[in-house]
Amino acid sequence: MRKLFYLLAAAIVLMILTTAFGIYWLSQSDITKAREESAVAEAKNVALGLSAQIDLLNKTLDKMTQDPDVLNAVALGNNGLLKMAAAKLEQYIPDILKIRILLPDTHETDDQTQPSMGFADLELVRETLNGNPFPGIQGEKGAGRHFAIARGIYQNGKITGVILASFDENVVLKSLRLASIKNGYMELKQGPAVLGTLGDKMAVGHIDAKEINVANTGWTIHYQYPDSTGLGDLALLGSLIFTTSFVALLALFVGHRWLSNILRQDLESLMKAFKDIMTHNSQSNYPLELTEFTAAISNLMQFKRVLDYGDRESPAELESGVNIIVNDDDDFDIEGLFDEVNGFKL
């Protein structure tokens, strides 16, 4: 029984392992495709969020370009009025660092106020003279780094000035950090510069990054997704295999103990019946769980009666004193066992 139990246990565990790894191997392509689709959807959501945020800021500044105080200050070209109009606008925009209202002929940087207006900001102002350019993060890492948006001030279809708005760069990166990503990695780039990251780069391996453009900006989102099984997936697969194997082995062990108890009880009843038959004890109650042993007791009784026939003096005495009951049993055939007993043919 133990050898049979060990063989069945090994076969069950082998079947579970083969099935689990077979299903896992067949589903790998679907898993990879699902991860790619999930990464694309997450990257698009981040891009849409950033684009909507920039679009809202652009529309807000476009309305401010038509403010009467702004138009009057630009028309007069008075520096004092320009600063007063800019200070007024700063009160209406949250998270603003500085608003400057500049004339088209501005060509000097400003290091006196923070954030400073460097050459990158001046280039943004010049591009505004030919149409509203994409906003961008300006300056090196440090106190002077900021997010700049420039919008043109038009009067009678002609550009007469520029509004240059400077925000903290976290205004943009905050929406990036609030985004959720599973098993992937993203980078927000402005040209070659990385503005912000999201996710775990170590989890994606060496798969090539793909990119999505962020509308209303010159930014791109580079995203990657894992193309192989991570430790979490392997741990889940291992736990499923262990749990299934444990339940199967437990069921097999319980079945082994149950069958062993049944066999032991039935063998005790069988031996008791054999003893009673041999000693001519009259007892007919032999509890059995397995029906196969019932035929064995019946055959033993029949065989013992045949052997006892030698003590009879005549067939008539046999007929009157012996009651042979033969059960239907294909596995036992008494015919031909004895051709003749004490001169009588059976």
Question: Measured between alpha carbons, how far is 187 from 176 in angstroms, rounded to an integer?
Answer: 10
Task: Indicate the pLDDT class of residue 63, thresholds 50, 70 and 90.
Answer: very high
Query: Which of the pair, 325 or 292, is modelled with greater confidence?
Result: 292
Instruction: Please choose, from the candidates 258, 203, 194, the residue with its C-alpha nearest in 3D space to the C-alpha of residue 226.
Output: 203
pLDDT score at 100? 92
Return phi, psi of residue 287, to 5°: -65, 130
Considering only CA atoms, which of 214, 243, 201, 239 is closest in space to residue 50? 214
Average pLDDT, the chain: 78
Q: Is the model's pLDDT at 324 over the cut of 70?
A: no
Contact between 169 and 137 (Cβ < 8 Å): yes
Question: Residue 327 and residue 150: Cα distance in Å, rounded?
Answer: 106
- Distances, alpha carbon 158 to alpha carbons 42, 130, 152, 240, in Å: 42, 11, 10, 71
pLDDT for the residue 99: 92
Mean pLDDT for the stretch of residues 313-342: 42
Phi-psi region of 302 (alpha: psi -120 to 50; beta: other; left: phi over 0): alpha
d(CA 310, CA 343): 9
- Residue 5: pLDDT band (50, 70, 90) is confident
Confidence of residue 207 (pLDDT cuts 50, 70, 90): low
User: Taking the chain, what is the end-to-end CA distance rounded to the nearest angstrom?
Assistant: 41
Which of these ranges, 26-35, 55-64, 225-234, has the smallest mean pLDDT?
A: 225-234
Position 178 pLDDT exceeds 50: yes
Mind listing the pLDDT tens digit for each residue in 249-287?
888 788 878 888 888 887 887 788 778 777 776 666 777
**Edge-to-edge, what's the strand order for the sheet holding 210-213?**
193-199, 185-190, 219-224, 210-213
Q: Are 147 and 89 in contact (CB under 8 A)?
A: no
pLDDT at 121 over 80: yes
3-state secondary structure the chain: CHHHHHHHHHHHHHHHHHHHHHHHHHHHHHHHHHHHHHHHHHHHHHHHHHHHHHHHHHHHHHHHCCCHHHHHHHHHCCHHHHHHHHHHHHCCCCCEEEEEEECCCCCCCECCCCCCECHHHHHHHHHHCCCCCCCEEECCCCCCCEEEEEEEEEECCEEEEEEEEEECCHHHHHHHHHCCCCCCEEEEEECCEEEEEEECHHHHCCCCCEEEECCCCCEEEEEECCCCCCHHHHHHHHHHHHHHHHHHHHHHHHHHHHHHHHHHHHHHHHHHHHHHHHHCCCCCCCCCCCHHHHHHHHHHHHHHHHHHHHHCCCHHHHHHHCCCCCCCCCCCCCCCCCCEECCEEC
Q: Residue 152 pairs with which residues in a beta bridge?
A: 162
Whether the per-residue pLDDT at 339 is higher than 70: the answer is no
pTM above 0.85, yes or no: no
How many C-beta neighbours within 10 Å does residue 184 have?
22
Mean pLDDT for 215-220 is: 89
At residue 320 the predicted structure's pLDDT band, cuts being 50, 70 and 90, is: very low
- Quick check: 120 pLDDT over 60? yes
pLDDT band at residue 164 under the 50/70/90 scheme:
very high
Nearest to 163 by CA among 116, 197, 200, 129: 129
Please tell me which of 53-67, 289-303, 321-335 the model is most confident about, judged by mean pLDDT: 53-67
pLDDT at res. 334:
38
Region 237-252: mean pLDDT is: 81
